[in-house]
Amino acid sequence: MKPSPRLSPILLAASALALPGVAVAQGSSSSQAQAKAPASSPVQSTVRTQAKPELKRWGVVLGATFDTSLHTFDDPAKRAKMLITTSPTYQWSELYKSKLNLVTQQDLRGDQDTTVYKASVSLSRAPIALNPFVSFQSAVSVGLPLSASRRDRESYLTGVSLIPRVTLDPSGGRGGKLQAYWEGSVARLFHRYDTQTNGASNNRYSASNEIGAGYDLGKGLSLSASYLYSMMWTYKGNQRAKFSFDGSLDWQVSEPMSVGLGYSNGGDPLKDNGIDSNIAVFDAENSSVSAGVTFVF
């Protein structure tokens, strides 16, 4: 899927244009018509203003993605799941937008449980053009304790994240096909207890850096790729890390509908020996492929 958003979208507002016009009162005789109007003569001016398009307040993003590992179907390690995304949005003004992001997960192997995978509410600001090539935008996100498994296992309460994003347009706003971005995140997590039910320590802080790019292939097709590196610090002061590579090929079928094929690989950045790097674009055990459909209304 497109990088997005995760991230993933902000409205560009249209500004009103004023078209001034002046009408001058005419006299009743030809001599008056040729003479200049005296200072006391009534002069009427009318200003015609192009009406702003009505701001669309409510919107919603709906998506369904099937994700599976590369194992054979008879392999006990095979992973398969269905992710359902529901994200209603509200446009407060031309600059600010709120979104409720709710992702539920249906496991298609093993117990086939249905759980809330992600839940958060966010407020984002429209991009600010720093120059013709670079724009900056930001958002704040608050986690919601809607996942029963996270509440029971981690005693999760909430989390607050600050998310800056810088976008690079090499064409300088001239409609180029390539765009690149950097997105960061710093978060503070809150739990009822410092440790999980299995004895592991909960994460107290996290920080991440993501870089990515997208290329417009034309005729509604686009390619995107991203790399994410995250670090977490537990209540006991221990440090953890993870990485992920993601890529997708997307097709905008119609104005509200798009479909896509995706690939992902991620995990611990170090191998079990704690020394050798485990970062790789492909890994037969951890990589997965996906197919999905998204509707934007």
How far is residue 24 from each of residues 112, 192, 216, measured CA to CA in Å? 79, 75, 53
What pLDDT, on a 0 to 100 scale, did the predictor assign at position 9? 36
CATH of domain 59-296: 2.40.160.40
The answer to whether the beta carbons of residues 137 and 50 sit under 8 Å apart is no
Say whether pLDDT at 215 is over 70.
yes
Domain ranges of the chain: 59-296
What pLDDT, on a 0 to 100 scale, did the predictor assign at position 274? 87
- Residues of the chain with pLDDT > 90, as a percent, come to 77
The answer to whether the beta carbons of residues 64 and 297 sit under 8 Å apart is no
Of 53 and 114, more confident: 114
Say whether pLDDT at 31 is over 70.
no
What pLDDT, on a 0 to 100 scale, did the predictor assign at position 36? 40
Which whole number is the average pLDDT over 273-286?
93
Secondary structure letter of residue 44 according to DSSP: E
- What does 248-283 look like in DSSP terms, one character per residue? EEEEE-SSSEEEEEEEEEEE-SB-TTSSSB---S--
The answer to whether the beta carbons of residues 16 and 50 sit under 8 Å apart is yes
Sheet strands (E) in 92-155: 96-107, 114-125, 128-129, 134-143
pLDDT band at residue 110 under the 50/70/90 scheme: confident
Say whether pLDDT at 26 is over 70.
no
- pTM for the full model? 0.80
pLDDT tens digits along 219-270: 999 999 999 999 999 999 999 999 999 999 999 999 999 999 999 999 999 9
Element (H, E) at 149: helix 148-154
